Amino acid sequence: MRSTSEFDEITVFGARGHSLLILRAMQEHWQGRVSIRALVDDVENGFIHPSLDIPVISSCARLHDYADIPVMLTPASAALRRDTALRLAEEGAILATAHCYGMPHVDPAVTYGPGCVVAPTARLGANIVVGAGAQVLCDLVAHDVVIGAYSTLNATVSVLGHVIIGEGVNIAPNAVIGNGTRERPLMIGDGAVIGVGAVVVRDVESGAKMVGNPAMTVERWKKFSRLLDAH
């Protein structure tokens, strides 16, 4: 998968709410250094975006007109980002790896996977690996953390130390992922969903949906709520 973090123009796959939220933050950070040539949307296209004054085009049009320009992946869906990245790789596209290297609140040794997006507000500490196509839009990733490919850490999330996050994980706003240890990192399995404001203090199985403080599965939370209601 070809990628670059050095670019002065890009196309952006995604033209709706979540994508625009990311794009606005990155534009503020870029301060005009990066030109956005087009937004790619395979559902609605063929017009000029009303607020950005940028053409919205199809994937076919991108391949025809902008094949040599890096593509930044911004959809909210992990599955869509993964599938799009694989298709773009087959087309020979270059993924834009968008991060904020050199900022004082970002450790210079952070490892960035191809096509990931890291918000300029995110504080990143030592020994952090960001996987391919991941979105790190949160406030804090403390130290010794692995973020799996195509996972999403939404705004105001905090991830503390010694944590391994699997692939395709979605962590909702205001969630807190507690500390593991060097000997036993806290593990969040592939495809897990961590709900708004959840506080994770123990391992999470793959595919689990977690809510509450302390976080528990949705099924267990429903049983707990019924017990409370019965009393």
Amino acid at 12: V
Alpha carbons 184 and 24: distance in angstroms, whole number:
38
pLDDT, residue 210, reads: 96
Question: How many beta carbons lie within 10 A of that of residue 179, not counting itself?
Answer: 15
Q: Do the beta carbons of residue 22 and residue 113 sit within 8 Å?
A: no
Verdict on whether the full-model pTM lies above 0.75: yes
CA distances from 188 to 33, 95, 144 (A): 37, 26, 14
Alpha carbons 118 and 145: distance in angstroms, whole number:
14
pLDDT by residue, tens only, the chain of 231 residues: 899 999 999 999 999 999 999 999 999 999 999 999 999 999 999 999 999 999 999 999 999 999 999 999 999 999 999 999 999 999 999 999 999 877 889 999 999 999 999 999 999 999 999 999 999 999 999 999 999 999 999 999 999 999 999 999 999 999 999 999 999 999 999 999 999 999 999 999 999 999 999 988 888 877 767 766 666
User: Quick check: do 3-96 and 111-214 share a fold?
Assistant: no
Alpha carbons 120 and 118: distance in angstroms, whole number:
6
Question: How many beta carbons lie within 10 A of that of residue 104, not counting itself?
Answer: 5
pLDDT, residue 47, reads: 97
Q: Where are the domains of the chain?
A: 3-96, 111-214
Mention the CATH class of domain 111-214: mainly beta
pLDDT, residue 136, reads: 98
Q: Do the beta carbons of residue 131 and residue 112 sit within 8 Å?
A: no
Residue entry with tokens 């087959």: 90
Fold of 3-96: Rossmann fold (3.40.50)
pLDDT, residue 118, reads: 97
Nearest to 141 by CA among 18, 127, 132: 127
